Structure 1
């Protein structure tokens, strides 16, 4: 996992975050390599997990899908006009969006598996005023057995000592990523 936050976070004054649906962008696809699998349900799962966990940071989060999500979610520069128009139409201070690079379900049960769950996703929070990236994060994991990677013993125990589903791995990854995002300066009450 890796994340990055701008040093002058407070200056952005983020209170209301517009959450735009994520898109599928399988690993390897843009490099001509065999790409990872990303199911449509996986994209929805990653997006909804971010949305549901985002409120805990104290931001007013609002789902929004009336935008060309491919243009705003794809890695790389985003059109300032597009970002500003979403901010103006919604009253949002920032836009959270991203891509799902891998979402493969485990084959087997929580005790024994043929193939472990594997997820990968990237998210970024874009300032709706100037288009700058305020926060960005990447998470990718294919769960490994303790015999394959003893260094992850405590994580394995914290997760209940079992093989996770892709949904559970996503919830864990999003939770870990959002721990690195600053909490809202002003908590919004009574909004949803």
Structure 2
């Protein structure tokens, strides 16, 4: 009987240990990764969109092969899309007004060297007391000619998004988004994206909004 009793007790101990280990593993799986925890501690500032007309205007990269003039009316729409998409990331972002004030208060770069542009945005970030500045640029844009159900000329967008380290002035990462919307019959491989975007012909600002969303994901935000 004593042997049987000890066997039962040992079985209970083993079961408890197993469930304890499983519980620990579950807690570990549910905990945030080190990278996610680190990113959540940073503060971001988002600069307004600017129009790049030549390679000298870019913080990195080159201009696209298709160049269309950017309608100035498109810029506030892009800024709104950026603020909305950035808010959805749940990252700590300072107000747009603070960034605008610091942009105005920071002396413009005296040269058009790429590092000078990066340093300029780093100084803006220091003024705004942020860790990183996101710098979006629109390179080329063509508006849709038509309606959501049919377009004789589809929308086209080319934009860059950069992340500048405020402490060093270094370019941490940048992404390039360039797309001309295609009809579903012309590019069946993009059927998922077509229906995700509402299954319609997009305006330039709508196409750019999806580009901003994709760019933020590629930047790790």
Aligned with residue 141 of structure 1, among 175, 179, 188: 179
Unaligned runs of 5+ in 1: 1-7, 184-192
Q: Aligned residue for 1:174?
A: 212
After superposition, where does 1:1-192 map in structure 2 within 5 Å? 15-26=42-53, 35-61=67-93, 62-63=95-96, 64-66=99-101, 67=103, 71=109, 76-78=114-116, 82-183=120-221
- 1:95 Cα deviation after fit: 0.9
Contact 1:27-1:36 at 8 Å conserved across structures? no
Q: TM-score of the superposition, structure 1-length normalised?
A: 0.74
In 2 relative to 1, CA 86–143 (structure 1 residues): closer, same or farther, beyond 3 Å? same
Matched residue of 1:65: which SS? helix
Higher relative contact order (CA 8 A, sep 6+): 1
**1:38–1:181: structure 2 CA closer, same or farther, 3 Å change rule?**
same
Higher Rg of the two aligned structures: 2
Contact persistence 1:22–1:43 (CA under 8 A): yes
CA distance in 1, matches of 2:134, 2:86: 10
Cα 1:81–1:161 change in 2 (3 A) is closer
TM-score scaled by structure 2? 0.66
The size of the alignment, in residue pairs, is 173
1:139-176 alpha-carbon deviations (Å, 9 max, x no partner): 11110112322221221122222111112211211111
User: In the superposition, relative to structure 1, how do residues 159 and 95 fare at CA in structure 2: closer, same or farther (>3 Å)?
Assistant: same
Relative to structure 1, the CA distance from residue 28 to residue 111 in structure 2 (aligned partners, 3 Å threshold; closer, same or farther) is farther
Task: For residue 42 of structure 1, report the CA deviation from its aligned partner.
Answer: 1.8
Q: CA RMSD in A?
A: 3.2
Note the residue ranges of structure 2 that are not aligned, 5 or more in a row: 1-34, 58-62
Structure 1 runs, 4 residues or longer, greater than 6 Å off? 8-13, 27-31
Higher strand share: 1
